[in-house]
Amino acid sequence: MSTNKTPAFLLLPLELHDLIGSKLAIFSLKSLIRTCRHLNKAYTRAYFARAGAWLHRELYVGRHGRDMNDYSDLNFGFGPHLQLEDEESPSTESSYYCRSDMPQNLMRAAKADVIKEILVIDGGWNDIDIVGPLVGETIYLCTSSIDKGGSDALVKMDLYTDRLVELGIGPYRRSLMERALSLPRYACIKLLGTKGICPGQEAVEEWAEMIFENLRAFALYPTRPYWEEEGNRYDILRFLLENTGLRADHVPKKYEERQSTLLHCLLQERIGNSPFPLPDSLVDLEEKLLRLFIEHGLDIHSIPLDDVLDVRLVCTLSVRVLARVGRDIVTCFEEEPWTLLHTLSTREDGLEGLEALIRQGARVDRRVTSTTGSEIPGYSEDGFPEMPGHNEDGCTALMLATFRLLRHLRSKPRCFVALDVVNSSSTSCSPCEELEYDDQQPRYFTYDDPCAELRRAVEDGSNVLFEHILFFLRNGADPLLANCDGLTPLTAALCTGQSIMIRDMIELDIRREERYGSLSCSMIQQKWENEDQFWETLLPAGALTRTQLEPVLEGLPPVNEEEIDYLEPKWYSYGERIEGSVPLQYKIE
């Protein structure tokens, strides 16, 4: 019966063993030592035989998905599926149905020659169905030990791969390459290539599909921890393009209907349509990938980007990468109702993309022309009804950023109903959180000072939308252009009391001298706040005046001044009650 306790014989003190050894005859002592050596070999051979049978059963039974009786508690580790070329894909994620990680622990702990001796004793060293999955296990071991300072996994893989080649590789060529690609591990791919397992130019079609699927399997999402593996993936793609004769503009048969090339796959699946901010470290990597594709036959200027990217969902990373490699990203969307400038105007990470667009000649005052179906019906997130017919028509990028920021600040519960002109699906700007205050803490957000929240954001540089507004103004955006609803960035800021925004829109106005002459900024702001004639003179045709705009911002229908019926004082006879008045009012005789 097995036990974990140390045998009592080994617990005896060394002095006692010395005493026994001193009393034994010399020839008897030699016989004892010789006997111990024979026992060690016998036990080792028996252990290797049992371990070999166990490993044989682990690899072979798990490989073919069969069941065996009398599984012990030592069974079996977990490992990804290895598919033969003539088999159908399994319905489960793995072909191993195991209870522990013992096989992988053995693969990590035992040296390559020890595992080889185990398989030689059991006969598995001559079985391709044992050696093939064994190579697959070493590929997994290579990838799992990346963050642990490395191991001798590549040494083991080299030994087992040589044996697999001697046995003829058989049906394991594709399955091993797919496993090395999917994990991914460049060192494994390179080793398989040097051993002749990586197919050459005769299998271009097969490799094209494999590369496409590899790109899809590792599409980038912020919640997936694949970014540290990106360098591996670049090396793998470079190795495949250089050794298989594959061109980057090749279209696999599987994707002929969509005419999908490597660039389509890269932009659509990896960086193109993600509204989430991605790390800056990926920009250099994706640029390297694009340049790699260009070196291998991709004509990046011949691919219409409007077929590859969704202009409403494109992320900043793809804009920056395409601009770096010299692709025109402005002209291709110029005829669209909505442009990249509008999309990035409300993105948290959009500033560098906006700079790239302006450098390529994007028009900063380009308006949204017609957005049929973009009307925002129903209710705002405050629960107040939206203005009927309110949409994005006629908005510039400055308007979108300004209205979103004002909506974000929400200094009054109902004053931003008409400013929510950006669909929440196209922006990552999250609403302000409700803050709990007590009397001992300073209030950054008060109704008495509606621009306190913006002032704090400007001081700590946390509000990217305000940075976008300043960027547009410095690049010539007009703060007095009106959208189809008659709203302008400046008048919206005036009616919501954002003095910091008002000041910057006046100071950075590209037509300031033409509009205001030599008036100081404070004087201009006072005129805007106090003189209705100032509004009528400077606002463009179709823009809402003060009397029209303030009711709209409060969620009320606009009213012309001549339609206002001013009430005159009314006297009542003695003792006559005025309904609804508190207290009762009487005329004094």
Query: Among 178, 53, 179, which residue's Cα sits nearest to residue 127?
Result: 53
Q: Alpha helices of 517-576 — where are they, by DSSP H?
A: 521-530, 532-538, 546-553
Query: Which helix (H) or strand (E) covers residue 17, if one does?
Result: helix 14-23
pLDDT of 372: 45
CA 146 to each of CA 79, 149, 223, 231: distance values in angstroms, whole numbers, following the listed order: 17, 6, 21, 13
Sign of CA dihedral 106, 111, 115, 121: negative
**C-alpha span between 308 and 263 (Å, rounded):** 9
Annotate 298-320 with DSSP letters as a single string.
Answer: --GGGS-HHHHS-TTT--HHHHH
**C-alpha span between 310 and 117 (Å, rounded):** 58
Amino acid at 341: L
Query: Helix or strand or coil: residue 562?
Result: helix
Sequence-distant (6+) residues with CB within 8 A of 54 are 74
pLDDT of 306: 73
**C-alpha span between 83 and 63 (Å, rounded):** 9
pLDDT of 34: 79
Query: Which helix (H) or strand (E) covers residue 512, if one does?
Result: helix 512-516
Low-confidence ranges of the chain (pLDDT < 70): 1-4, 45-109, 122, 143-151, 184, 199-206, 211-231, 248, 252, 254-282, 370-391, 410-462, 550-589
pLDDT of 484: 86
User: Using H for helix, E for strand and C for coil, what is the string for 213-242?
Assistant: HHHHHCCCCCCCCCHHHHHHHHHHHHHHHH
Q: Where are the beta strands (DSSP E) in 401-486?
A: none
**C-alpha span between 435 and 463 (Å, rounded):** 17
For residue 255, give the DSSP letter.
Answer: G
Cβ atoms of 208 and 245 closer than 8 Å: no
HSE value, Cβ hemisphere, 13 Å, CA-based, for 334: 11
pLDDT of 553: 57
Q: Dump pLDDT digits (tens) for 14-34.
A: 778 778 777 777 777 777 777
219: left (phi over 0), alpha (psi -120 to 50) or beta: beta
Burial 447-462 (b: 16+ CB within 10 A, else e): eeebbbbbeebbeeee
Residues 420, 421, 426, 429: what is their CA dihedral angle, to the nearest 10 degrees? -30
**C-alpha span between 461 and 183 (Å, rounded):** 40
Sign of CA dihedral 483, 485, 491, 494: negative
For residue 378, give the DSSP letter.
Answer: S
Q: Dump pLDDT digits (tens) for 229-263.
A: 566 777 877 887 787 777 767 776 766 666 666 66
Long-range contacts, 298-304 (Cβ 8 Å, 24+): 298/247, 298/248, 298/249, 298/261, 298/262, 298/263, 299/249, 300/263, 300/325, 300/326, 300/327, 301/327, 301/328, 303/261, 303/263, 303/264, 304/332
Partners of 385 in the β-ladder: 379
